[in-house]
Structure 1
Amino acid sequence: MKKTALVFSGQGSQYSGMGKMVYDNYKEARQVYEEAADILGFNISKLCFEGSRDDLISTKNTQIAILTTSIAMYKAYEHEIGLEPYCMAGHSLGEYSALVASGKLKFQDALKIVETRGKLMQDAVNEKGGCMSCIIGLDSHIVQNVCNKYCNRDSVVMISNYNSPKQSVISGNEEAVTSVCRELEEMGAKIIELEVRAPFHSILMKDAADKMAVYLGDFKFQDTKMPVISNVKAEPYNDTMEIYKLLPEQIVKPVRWNESMIFMEYMGVDTLIEIGPKSVLKKLTKHNCPYVDAYSYDIDEDVREIRKKAVSCYGVKKDEVDWNIFIEKCIASAISTKNHNWDEKEYDEGVVKPYRMIKEDYYLMKDNNEKATMEEAKKAYHMLSSVLVTKKVSDDERNYIMNELFYGIYSNYVDDIAG
């Protein structure tokens, strides 16, 4: 993980329940959903966690829901892993999440911009219609040649996403898209109709792009050192003025994801972590840059692997871990957490006795200048668990305490300590 890129999910990755895991386990993630609700004026967490399929594929809902979920996941990543990436990028809508995470755009401003972007794009759809389909198995130049056959004064169909050497997405008028898909299928392509009832990244979005260019003038982008790769040019933005120019263009121009990935690999990126719902970008990495390790922060197994890899980046070997600090955190949490159980017998057995035993053993060891072992840390953890259960601490508070406990280098040893 010498050079890690964070990439953010785009539209089409949404699902009911997205973000619930980080919401339940990280205070920082909950704060993102709460801030979004205050700005938008409705309970967006309910939309993300309980929204129906129809609710979530509506562009005016999808874009703000994915943005909020992605930033909530990023805050969880920032708290739990904390490794600064080499660069950032986002697929289409995900570019706004990358701009927020990089510090170039405030989250509250991004919400307003994306909410308006979604409405403008939905308006364009309502007026002109259109759809998108994914083409798998054919080179993009073949796809483009077939598209050209069905483009005329009254009909538009074009490549909207260059996702990988053998995967493209086309957008345009529904009849033209259907005709192209039929011909490409006869040539051996696999066709997937996307759950996006709109011709995104095509000239049919021009009205939305023009209005977006005007609307962006009301917001300020910050100069930061973190490179963010533009979908339009497949290279990092040069400055903030270029952001004002290229974000509106992104609505009508294709997403050059394949080239963006190749650029990252050329710059030495060896690890990619997808932040946001699902793992679409992780899967695309295998086709674009097979030698780059790719993970999704929405997959538990991947998160555990990221933790393990992060340990080496902290420069701490297993036998060098300072378990004294871990035990001190257990002791501090046990005594400082508010009690909600007034049964004296239960309190004595589940709090006083285990706490006193761990504390006395630990400080005796410390007085003798001894280093704690993982086994002693494990005993301290189980003491803390007993204390929290006996004190009848809520699940949310317990999860927060445990996330604080296993922060940083200790995150690699969750299974060893808690098992």
Structure 2
Amino acid sequence: MSKELYEQYSIVRETFEEASDTLHMDMRQLCFDREEEEKLHKLEYSKPALVCSGIACYRVFAEETGLQPAATMGYSLGEYTALCCAGVISFKDTLEIVHKRALIINETTAGTEGTMAWVINLDCRKVEEICSEALSEGIVIYVSAVDAPAKTSISGTMASIQKVASRLEDSGGMVIPIPMSGPFHSLFMKEAADLLRGILDQYSFSKPRWEVVANWNALPYPDEIGSIKDNLSLQLIHPVRWRNSIEYLLTAGIDSVVELGPKTVLTYLTAINTDRLKSYSVDKPADVVTVRQALLLEQNDYLRVLKHSLAAVAATKNHNADMTNYVSAVSEPYQQIKGLYHDCNHQQRELTTPQIHDVLRTVNSILTAKGLPEDERIRRMRKVLCYKSLVY
């Protein structure tokens, strides 16, 4: 996990060393040595390793792009990584909490004979309906994740899953056992959730630097510190509402997502939920280059931004009745941008980053002066930027 990033970036090596010192386990050996692979079948090793890898990837992403996310979210354990990236939990505390969480889960599920299964090719609402009916009949079964419209997970005992599997298959679904799993994100985890809350009370938390979307309700964490402990405890006994979390990102106006860490499971889940989000993943140095090119404006984009700026202003209807203000706030700045575009286009002059920043500020000011509503102004500015970001 993250071996190529480890070899290329010092920040990754420092992250692995910090994790090793915190938990007194060799994180490099655990993640890269084939002889250690068996350990990754145990939660107390796999969970900290995943967090370490995810944080290392995020630190590379932040260092190499300079971008700050509009929001972060993670699947199940990944929610801890999302909180850590947002500054809610220190890296050291995150590692300690997820390690203790894994030990608690091991202890409380040891005698439950609980497990999980995927249900695919069946509408998630139908899965929830069948599981609810079965539960009312005394068959202890729960929906434990809603990943996509036709991809759900269920938790229960081996016997209860087998009983409900026939009903799900009769309705057109396919039931696939998840190997080496416990009955996560269900009421089987009530004892673990209570014990986890006691662990969380031992740590301090900060307000998030940006929105973090919670698994259990698909909503951003409130600013109250107490809600962090509540959400992380509730996460253990409620389904992961990943489909709803994707829907929240869309309503928040987000148009691109980056998966940070090994494999591309979340990129796949994004694709089967919507075609309105551009998805990228970072687990190798080449991925960093791809993401930079996709999300960051480069100098060869600047002339196109200038052209889009003129088009945005020209295409925006004027709602400013004050002609004196219109001339000074719209007409004159527009002519300046037009002159700059002519010089660059015809005289082969290269635009500088400070110039592009000035142009963007001017265009935003012009659109405001024309009376364009804020949400539409933001949408048009994103188009001007070619749906990329400019870091300066």
TM-score range (shorter-chain normalised) is 0.7 to 0.9
Matching residue of 1:375: none
Cα deviation, residue 222, structure 1: 0.7
Pick the aligned partner of 1:94 from 74, 78, 103: 78
Residue number in structure 2 paired with 1:179: 163
**Which of 212, 222, 228 matches 1:243?**
228
Question: Does structure 2 conserve the Cα–Cα contact (< 8 Å) formed by 1:209 and 1:248?
Answer: yes
Supply the distance in 1 between the matched residues of 2:265 and 2:277 (Cα, whole angstroms).
Answer: 15
Look up the equivalent residue of 2:251 and give its one-letter code. Y
Aligned mates of 2:207, 2:63 — CA distance in 1: 23
Displacement of 1:180 in angstroms is 2.0
2:97 & 2:168 partners in 1: Cα distance? Answer: 36
Residue 32 of structure 2: aligned partner: 49
Are 2:276 and 1:291 equivalent residues in the alignment? yes
Q: Which amino acid aligns with 1:284?
A: L
CA offset digits 1:246-267 (Å, max 9, x no partner): 1111111111111111011111
Once the 2 structures are TM-superposed, how far is the Cα of residue 179 of structure 1 from its aligned partner?
2.3
Distance across 2 between alignment mates of 1:176 and 1:300: 45
Distance 2:103 2:38 in 1: 16
Residue number in structure 1 paired with 2:258: 273
Please state if 1:228 is matched with 2:218. no
> Of 259, 281, 290, which aligns to 1:305?
290
Q: What residue is the counterpart of 1:69 in the other structure?
A: 53
Deviations along 1:48-100, one digit per CA (max 9) or x if unpaired, are 11255542232222211111110111111112222111111111100000011
2:194 corresponds to 1:210: yes
Deviation at 1:300, TM superposition (A): 6.3
1:32 equivalent in alignment to 2:50? no
After superposition, residues 330-349 of structure 1 pair within 5 angstroms as none
SS at match of 2:199: helix
Q: 1:109 to 1:291 in 2, by over 3 A?
A: same
Q: Is the 8 A contact 1:57 1:195 kept in 2?
A: no
Contact kept in structure 2, 1:229 and 1:235, CA below 8 Å: yes
C-alpha distance in 1, partners of 2:8/2:2?
Answer: 10
The offset of 1:154, in angstroms, is 6.8
Task: Give per-residue Cα distances to partners, 1:201-260, cap 9 Å, x unaligned.
Answer: 011111110011111011111123311111122111112221111111111111111111
In structure 1, the partner of 2:319 is: none
CA distance in 1, matches of 2:45, 2:114: 18
Structure 1 residue 159: Cα displacement:
0.6
In structure 2, give the amino acid aligned to 1:45: R
Per-residue CA deviations over 1:248-287 (Å, capped at 9, x if unaligned) read 1111111111111101111100001011111111111112
Equivalent residue, structure 2, for 1:255: 240
1:268 and 1:203 map into 2 onto residues whose CA distance is 34
Runs of 4+ in 1 over 4 A off after TM superposition: 152-155, 299-302
Partner residue in 1 for 2:140: 156
Equivalents in 1 of 2:159, 2:192: separation in Å? 22
Q: Of 154, 161, 172, which aligns to 1:188?
A: 172
Residue 133 of structure 1 pairs with residue 106 of structure 2 = no
- The size of the alignment, in residue pairs, is 303
Quote the Cα distance in structure 1 between the aligned partners of 2:128 and 2:41: 27
**Partner residue of 2:369?**
none
- Is this contact kept in 1: 2:65–2:296, CA < 8 A? no
Provide Cα deviations, 1:284-316, integer angstroms capped at 9, x if missing partner: 11122211101111266654331212331xx63
Secondary structure at the counterpart of residue 215 of structure 1: helix
Give me the whole-angstrom Cα distance separating, in 2, the residues matched to 1:27 and 1:299: 14
Secondary structure of the structure 1 residue equivalent to 2:145: strand
Q: What secondary structure does 1:317 align onto?
A: helix
1:111-126 pair list within 5 angstroms: 111-126=95-110
- Aligned in 2, Cα 1:221/1:41: closer, same or farther, shift over 3 Å? same
Within 2, Cα distance between the matches of 1:108 and 1:69? 14
1:5-35 C-alpha deviation (Å, 9 max, x unpaired):
xxxxxxxxxxxxx111111111101111111
Distance 1:46 1:181, change over 3 A: farther
The more displaced of 183-192 and 154-163 is: 183-192
Distance 1:63 1:266, change over 3 A: same
1:117 to partner: Cα distance: 0.5
CA distance in 2, matches of 1:319, 1:257: 37
CA RMSD after TM alignment: 2.2
- Amino acid in the other structure paired with 2:257: L
> What amino acid is aligned across from residue 117 of structure 1 in structure 2?
R
Distance change (3 Å), C-alpha of 1:311 and 1:277: same
Map 1:401-412 onto structure 2 (within 5 A): none
SS of aligned partner of 1:193? strand
> Are residues 1:168 and 2:184 paired?
no
TM-score by length of 2: 0.73
Q: Which moved more, 1:198-207 or 1:75-84?
A: 75-84
Q: Is the 8 A contact 2:214 2:220 kept in 1?
A: yes
Q: Structure 1: which 5+ runs fail to align?
A: 1-17, 321-370, 372-408, 410-419
Q: Residue deviations 1:179-213, cap 9 Å, x none?
A: 22233234322333223420000111111100111
Alignment partner of 1:295: what SS? strand
User: What amino acid is aligned across from residue 214 of structure 1 in structure 2?
Assistant: G
